[in-house]
Structure 1
Amino acid sequence: MQIRIESADMTYTKEDGYLGHVVFAVENHPKSYEITLLSKSARDWSYSLNFARESGDELLIEAVEEALEEDDRLFDSLVEAAMAALDK
């Protein structure tokens, strides 16, 4: 699955840990997605996937969800984009 990062941010607080958001487009999908990332230690990540701006086809977002679960490189690329924004 080919993606293009549109925007990314990450914050860190001692109390809450890491909280990040990445908006990304998927090749041949008409709507962008936003993943929200949460981790206390920057090792184990919880996430939530939504449409970024407006609702779209549920079958497409389910395909992205499945890809995130199965492709560690895809998921890691989104985490890396958010973490890179923390350093700025």
Structure 2
Amino acid sequence: MKITILHATMSYTKEDGYVGQVQFRAENHRDDYEITLQSKKGKEWSYGLHFLNASGSEEEIFKMEELIEEDDELFDSLIEAAKISLDEK
């Protein structure tokens, strides 16, 4: 599935570790998404996925969550998009 990154940010503090947000569009999905990423040391990541602008199809967000869980390359690309914004600061 083709993913288009719309915007990405990441910050780091000793208290929270790394916290990033990536806004993206998925091919054949009606609504855009935002994923919030968090990692204490930048190794193991947790995330929360939600619609970017308004509530969308529950079926589509479940499909996207499943894809993120199963496709390590996709998940890593979202993390990298956020990391790039941290490196640019």
2:61 counterpart residue number: 61
Aligned-pair distance for 1:14?
1.2
- The residue that corresponds to 2:25 in the other structure is 25
Distance 2:60 2:20 in 1: 23
Kindly provide the CA deviation profile for residues 11-43 of structure 1, in whole angstroms up to 9, marking residues without a partner as x: 000111000000000001111000000000100
After TM superposition, the score normalised by the length of structure 2 is 0.97
TM-score of the superposition, structure 1-length normalised? 0.98
Q: Number of matched residues?
A: 88
Could you tell me the percent identity over the aligned residues? 57
* SS of alignment partner, residue 37 of structure 1: strand
Letter in 2 for 1:57: S
- Secondary structure of 1:74's counterpart equals helix
Secondary structure of the structure 2 residue equivalent to 1:47: strand
Structure 2 residue identity aligned to 1:65 = E
Query: For structure 2, which runs of at least 5 residues remain unmatched after alignment?
Result: none
Gaps of 5+ in 1: none
**Structure 1 equivalent of residue 15 of structure 2:** 15
Alignment root-mean-square deviation, CA: 0.5
Pair 1:75 & 2:57 matched: no
- The amino acid of 2:59's aligned partner reads L
User: Helix, strand or coil: the match of 2:19?
Assistant: strand
